[in-house]
Amino acid sequence: MEMEISFPGGKKVDSHFKGFNVHTDQPQKAGGEGTAPSPTELFLASIGTCAGYFAMIFCDKRKLNTKGLKMKVDFQANRKTYMIENIVVKITLPPDFPEKYKDALIKAVDLCHVKKHFTDPPEFEYLTAIAE
């Protein structure tokens, strides 16, 4: 599979894949216009949406009410390196969520494929080519 990356101007960098376009921009304090999420913010969004998918599937399989189910992704970054050092996924459960499923839900959310890339990271390779 291949994803195309384009440079529409300024600090914007976009990706194009399977008919979808994902726009990014840097915050104004980093020289961008702040018109779209930064790549790091999209990275965090991918963790949250992946974890959310697994929570939804867990509830659907057990026919559990998801009205009121919410998630938040909180994170702390190192002030010197700007690297994210801690990510906390906060799950708000519906009032009628069965106590017996709380630990199992957390285990299901922990199956997030995006998160699993931290424990088994891919190898990176960089190639260059001259435009024709």
Range of the domain at 90: 38-119
Shared-domain flag, residues 29 and 76: no
- Contact by Cβ (8 Å): 74, 88: yes
The tens digit of pLDDT for each residue in 34-50 reads 999 999 999 999 999 99
The tens digit of pLDDT for each residue in 1-59 reads 899 999 999 999 999 999 999 999 999 999 999 999 999 999 999 999 999 999 999 99
Residue pointed to by tokens 């790549």: 39
Shared-domain flag, residues 104 and 67: yes
The tens digit of pLDDT for each residue in 63-115 reads 999 999 999 999 999 999 989 999 999 999 999 999 999 999 999 999 999 99
Which residues in 52-79 are b (16+ Cβ under 10 Å) and which e?
A: bbbbbebbeeeebeeeebeeebeeeeee
Shared-domain flag, residues 2 and 31: yes
The answer to the question of residue 58 being in a domain is yes
pTM: 0.88
- Please state, in angstroms and rounded to a whole number, the distance separating the CA atoms of residues 80 and 28: 19
Structurally, the chain folds into a number of domains equal to 2
Shared-domain flag, residues 110 and 66: yes
